Amino acid sequence: MAFCGPLVVGSVVRYKDLFRKAGFGSSRIPWGVDRMSKRLKDLLSANQPVWSFEVFPPKTAAGLESMYAAVDRLMAFKPAYFSCTFGAGGSTQGPTLDICSEIMRRHGVATMAHLTCVGLTVDALRDFVRQAKARGISNIMALRGDPPKGQEGFRKVEGGLGYANELVALIHREFPDMGIGVGGYPETHQEASSPEDDLRHLKVKVDAGADAVVCQLFYDNADYYRFVERCRKLGIHVPLVPGLLPIVNFPQIQRITSLCGAKLPKALYSELEKHKDDPAATARIGAEHARKQTEDLIRQGAPGVHFYVLNQAEAAHQVLTALGA
């Protein structure tokens, strides 16, 4: 997710040590192989709303433990899969596969490993997907990624790829069994020359072999419904999964939305501002807004909701519990 940057900038730890310290061992897969090996398109074809949760690689052993504790709690909602980000905002790229493997080992649930083209040659990208496949990870979220910190504009490395659609094509061609997710932007990607161009580029990505589009976070469902309508008109027929980030902290959400370009509806913004010095009220307002969004999305036929949980279970847990999920 583009906005994870400030939360996880810089890598100061060796992940192998972290996993050992946190008591997590090999990535053997003891059970649930059928469920774990499902591709995105099969996971999303259920006749009921599909929940999924996105985590990011934490920087410390304590962070890793608390992330797994969040995953444990969220299992109560029988998620279709967990996804783990890759190098978001310049964070370390290494542990994504380890985290996916560990979640599969502990819970027998499917995972989706994110992968970006940032700083990687085609050989390195291919190698990542090969490793993911060897570990039984059945889905890759194929992304271009954001420019590294301090660099203006995305530049592909020599022997690398310039857009996500090229990564999708590579995976689809060389790993035909791998499920592929791509990012979609209900409020238009910040670098796009126009909303129309952005959608045309999305169609190229989907036509290259993506199974589903996972949307950037948004706080006004009308943006998502318009996006769905415009995608369908253009001939994009894969599932378009809404992405929600329940607000828990006002300064954090201001930073995140300014980074990814999502807007907060006026009424929600003023409500949050009124209570900006009261963290409990902020979390209550955030959870209630996310509950209303989720309820409405499901009622209007969205395939499910992908929650950006920022490694904390509480907000998504409240939302889904309130909905009786």
Residues that bind ligand FAD (CB under 6 A): 1-2, 85-88, 114, 116, 141, 143-146, 163-165, 183, 189, 191-192, 197-198, 201, 204-205, 214, 216, 243
User: So which residues are the catalytic ones?
Assistant: 54
Closest distance between ligand FAD and the C-beta of residue 271, in Å?
Answer: 26
- Which residues make Cβ contacts (< 8 Å) with residue 66, sequence separation at least 6? 58, 311, 312
Nearer residue to ligand FAD within complex by CB, 204 or 234: 204
Nearer residue to ligand FAD within complex by CB, 212 or 319: 212
Closest distance between ligand FAD and the C-beta of residue 114, in Å?
Answer: 3
Nearer residue to ligand FAD within complex by CB, 116 or 282: 116
Nearer residue to ligand FAD within complex by CB, 55 or 285: 55
Residue 241: closest CA among 57, 38, 45: 45
> CA-CA distances (angstroms) from residue 302 to 77, 136, 294, 318?
17, 28, 9, 20
- Which residues make Cβ contacts (< 8 Å) with residue 175, sequence separation at least 6? 129, 130, 133
Residue 281: closest CA among 312, 321, 250, 322: 250
The answer for 285, left when phi > 0, alpha when psi is -120 to 50, beta otherwise, is alpha
Closest distance between ligand FAD and the C-beta of residue 83, in Å?
Answer: 8
Closest distance between ligand FAD and the C-beta of residue 270, in Å?
Answer: 27
Name the residue with tokens 């290494």. 94
Q: 145-157 burial string, b = 16+ CB within 10 Å, else e?
A: bbeeeeeeebebe
Nearer residue to ligand FAD within complex by CB, 83 or 282: 83
Give the amino acid at 21. K
Closest distance between ligand FAD and the C-beta of residue 309, in Å?
Answer: 13
